[in-house]
Structure 1
């Protein structure tokens, strides 16, 4: 009887130690993931304009072996990039924005898939998708990468291959002015003349001189 009780006690101790070990490993993995997410530079991606986000994705796909074609700035027929790897061609639409990507983006990239005769169609955004966009994407066979999936995608790539968003911000001229909150800025007029003001005013009151 005593030996049986000892065996049960030993079993409980082993299980407790294993659970504690798993808990510590899980905490370590979560901390490591947070550190990698921080290095991704999502806050800098949020500060990009649409053109800079396209260039960032072009560098990202090139780094992992895709051939990349950047479509014309106008009349792109719904795709910002055409990427190809292992005989698979993909129409990619890049959506750097501050609100949910709607159904029109799915419609546009579906049209791009037909126009460019690609095998797949993807939309990548730093934000999220509306429920209508998700529903249509399922039926149209369009792959959606929201903020979370975009980060997961980047985390799967070796850190040395991932482009640094801050370098894009500094090296690629923006075609739009982006506020520090991530929203677009528009020209406003005050007593001293024109200036850049956040589109989200009065929620955000950040301003910037026009140079």
Structure 2
């Protein structure tokens, strides 16, 4: 029964298209010049709309939507990653998200002018330790990045600072994050 209904629906739609086609031919024969002008004006309006939409979307994308550091402190891990994605997009980076679990040590991959940076994001209330720097280095190797970075809304331990200095991992602590936003 279902197949019969589908065949019947196809026949009806073919018939409808035939009627619409005949109607359009009759209209073109009678009002051809007017319809041609209508099509041209419609196309011009559509292209104008598309251009304005592109300009508006670009302006909207670059409009800052910054949070205060106190608001950042209230974010969860994934929300902090969302915030950093928006921040780096505004700064001109192409941002790629990694899976929430099994990310091989990088939460975001930043790319600008062919230079890739693996970012480990830590939204903590306590100090961030050496393990975050190790994760960033792991993400750098796995995603074949040139640089690694750890960003937190908190502070880094002395060991993390020393290890990052030795391994050339860039660290953004609370103060640096506030400067960047």
Q: Structure 2 length as normaliser, TM-score? A: 0.62
Q: CA deviation at 1:40?
A: 4.5
Q: Which has the higher contact order (CA 8 A, sep 6+)?
A: 1
**Aligned pairs (5 A) from 1:119-130:** 119-130=146-157
Q: What secondary structure is seen at the aligned counterpart in 1 of 2:96? A: strand
- Give the CA RMSD over aligned residues: 1.0
Q: CA deviation at 1:64?
A: 1.5
1:6-33: CA deviations, max 9, x gaps? Answer: xxxxxxxxxxxxxxxxxxxxxxxxxxxx
Q: CA deviation at 1:76?
A: 0.2
Partner of 2:103: 76
Q: Kindly indicate whether residue 98 of structure 2 is the aligned counterpart of residue 66 of structure 1.
A: no
**Aligned pairs (5 A) from 1:21-40:** 40=67
Provide structure 1 residue ranges, at least 5 long, that are not aligned to the other structure.
1-38, 155-211
Choose the corresponding residue for 1:114, options 124, 138, 141. Answer: 141
Q: Structure 1 length as normaliser, TM-score? A: 0.54
- C-alpha separation between the residues in 1 aligned to 2:68 and 2:162? 30
Q: Which runs of 4+ in 1 moved over 4 A?
A: none
Aligned length, in residue pairs: 116
Provide structure 2 residue ranges, at least 5 long, that are not aligned to the other structure.
1-65
The structure with the largest helix share of the pair is: 2
The structure with the largest strand share of the pair is: 1
